[in-house]
Amino acid sequence: MKKSTVKVMPAFYKKMENLDISIEEGLKSKLMRMSRKTVDVSPVDTGAYVTSFSISTGGGRPRGKSSDNKPKKQNPQSMRDVGYNQLVSDINKLDLLNTTSITFRNGSPHAKDVEDGTHWKRTAGYKVFAKIRNIYG
């Protein structure tokens, strides 16, 4: 019997660990850019829609707020910042190296109306998810 033994040096494992960190940081950076763009293209009236986005790697209850009884004409940038900060918090909780699927969703009761204008007379929809898909694939 013939055999060959290959010794794996500790430096190899360190390089692999650094590669994992680079991949994770790159994915995290892309998710943050995507999150910022999503809230930036979202309409703001009460702030319910823009603060109802969430990111997860599995099931669970999506973040969702109703606009019922909320004051209108909220500060758009302020509401977008709240929404973005919630998404950053979601991203920081993800185990990006051990997942194969990431779900980006909006759980507000009127998300479909905002997206495609269903049941609305004032607009044909803001197409937020369509815009993000066009930019990020």
- 9-37 residue pLDDT tens: 778 778 878 887 888 899 999 999 999 99
Residue-wise pLDDT tens digits, 39-78: 999 999 999 999 999 998 877 677 777 777 788 999 999 9
Q: Where are the beta strands (DSSP E) in the chain?
A: 53-56, 103-106
CA distances (Å), origin 85, targets 8, 59, 81:
43, 21, 6
Whether residue 47 contacts residue 74, with contact meaning beta carbons closer than 8 Å, is answered with yes
Domain membership of residue 6 (yes or no) is no
Domain membership of residue 35 (yes or no) is yes
Whether residue 61 contacts residue 67, with contact meaning beta carbons closer than 8 Å, is answered with no
Q: What is the rounded distance in angstroms from the CA atom of residue 73 to the CA atom of residue 44?
A: 8
Structural domains counted in the chain: 1
Q: What is the pTM of this model?
A: 0.83
Domain membership of residue 3 (yes or no) is no
Q: Domain of 130?
A: 13-136
Domain membership of residue 71 (yes or no) is yes
